[in-house]
Amino acid sequence: MKRDGWIREVNGIWILRFRYDWESWDQNPKVWIERGRLESNGPALLKNRKRMRRGLAIKLWRELLSTGWRRIPPQWD
């Protein structure tokens, strides 16, 4: 089961991908957050990736949406 969330800055280039870290899910649920941007001449450029607790990731997701970020369809694999 895939459960990814994708959001993008309204007037920017950055995209965040939120995805569950299934290896940690039973004991201490965590989420991977990847930050990248689409390149016009090739694959997406991934700038960084971090892991955080599920609760903090949900809070970050909601804060970003409230400041203008928008949900988007998946952008890379």
Q: What is the model's pLDDT at position 1?
A: 47
Residue bearing the bigger pLDDT, 3 or 35: 35
Q: Cα 9 from chain centroid?
A: 12
Q: What is the model's pLDDT at position 27?
A: 87
Going from N- to C-terminal start, the domains of the chain cover: 4-71
Three-class SS of residue 55? helix
pLDDT in tens, 9-50: 998 899 999 999 988 878 889 999 999 999 988 888 999 999
Q: What is the model's pLDDT at position 24?
A: 86
Q: Decide: pTM greater than 0.85.
A: yes
Helix ranges (H only) for 1-77 are: 54-66
